[in-house]
Structure 1
């Protein structure tokens, strides 16, 4: 998970999220639409929708926008024709990438993803070419200053956690996708607040990259952030600690 969670730490340090609030809202709305479309508009009965709404509220998305997205997903309002896509590719240093997208125009999205990869010296991969390098997991990130590993492990095991990993500034708690909702509830009942919680693709093995290559990967990830159709990107790169130290400096 280091490739993905370290990227989240880099985003936080660079302050990119606040600068792109409008695009974040657009991406959050698509997540809500897809979740409501698949499982209905009741957050109490639809775990995926509950997670999507929770993430939207965490970035201060207005309630009226959340409600509108739910209604689009349930068909009460027009605009719910959104499809989930997964693209596979290779980036700088040969690292593997899984690119999640939500789009109403598949041709536009695949062209934009291919262009971003090409600009970074990467390339699109065939279906299945890199997906086997990742496992789908529930992942919850906790601030290391607020919680210790033993504490998270004790609570997590009761909720179905598989592992607690040290990610530098934080701990990542992993679980099987089907245990994600019970695990979240276990931490809520224990009054432990996570920095983030999501279903993510975790790399089975990490590819070590130097600082120069890591910066190229970061630039590519930022290009993907600029694409409104792209909802998440997972990479099997192990960002070097020197890069984090350099950013702190």
Structure 2
């Protein structure tokens, strides 16, 4: 993970996300619906639902919205049939891009994603064209400000919690885990620290650097993809 700071990317997206909070809640409602539909509405029995609810609360989604999505999924009333799709493509200078979507209309989503790529300097690739450049991992961040422990004690606590890798950044400690261990590590760390971020994510194995013009073009492409109602997440292997 050396040289890659996911925290910088998270902070860079925050203001834009705040500006379109209603759309974010809509997307989170879909994710909650999918998780509850697949594993039931009981959080203690459905780890996937628990993760999505944590994500929703981190985005300050009202509890009423969360409960409404769970109720819709578990009420037995037929609703939209969403499916999870992943698209792979390239941006400026060969930057790898993974797009995760939840949709009730595969043709609409594929068309919108393809148009976003082609109109913003990218190209949509075949399945498997870039996914090998990423690996799914658990990601957690602990704000360093206000922590009473020494750096050595903090590192020991993170390792004892079961983390696989960590990075000391100026503002946060970034922690990476195996996806299977994510909830266990998260619970262990929550007992000692306030987490600034906790999610399952796709982490690039290698990164690509861009000049200012290419960076601007990539930003436009990612923004266009994220603005699509069907798109849940966009990952790139841009060097931070």
- Provide TM-score, normalisation by structure 2: 0.91
User: Secondary structure at 2:138's aligned position in 1?
Assistant: strand
2:137 aligns with 137
1:95 aligns with 95
Pairing 1:231–2:232 present? yes
User: Secondary structure at 2:164's aligned position in 1?
Assistant: strand
Alignment map for 1:159-198 (pairs within 5 Å)? 159-167=161-169, 169-190=171-192, 192-198=193-199
Q: Is the CA contact (8 Å cut-off) linking 2:133 and 2:205 kept in structure 1?
A: yes
Gaps of 5+ in 1: 240-249
Pairing 1:216–2:217 present? yes
2:72 aligns with 72
Q: Deviations over 1:132-167 (max 9, x none)?
A: 001110001222334575444322222220111245
1:61 aligns with 61
Pairing 1:115–2:88 present? no
1:27 aligns with 27
Q: Is the CA contact (8 Å cut-off) linking 2:97 and 2:234 kept in structure 1?
A: yes
- Provide TM-score, normalisation by structure 1: 0.88
Gaps of 5+ in 2: none
- Counterparts of 2:155 and 2:56 in 1: how far apart (Å)? 27
User: Secondary structure at 2:110's aligned position in 1?
Assistant: helix
2:208 aligns with 207
- Counterparts of 1:234 and 1:72 in 2: how far apart (Å)? 29
Cα gap change, 1:151/1:103 in structure 2, threshold over 3 Å: closer, same or farther? farther
Q: Is the CA contact (8 Å cut-off) linking 2:121 and 2:217 kept in structure 1?
A: no
Q: CA RMSD in A?
A: 1.9
Q: What is the deviation of 1:74?
A: 2.7
- Counterparts of 1:212 and 1:150 in 2: how far apart (Å)? 41
Q: How many residues align?
A: 236
1:17 aligns with 17
Q: What is the deviation of 1:31?
A: 1.2
Q: What is the deviation of 1:19?
A: 1.1
Q: What is the deviation of 1:72?
A: 2.7
Q: Is the CA contact (8 Å cut-off) linking 1:152 and 1:164 kept in structure 2?
A: no
- Counterparts of 2:170 and 2:113 in 1: how far apart (Å)? 30
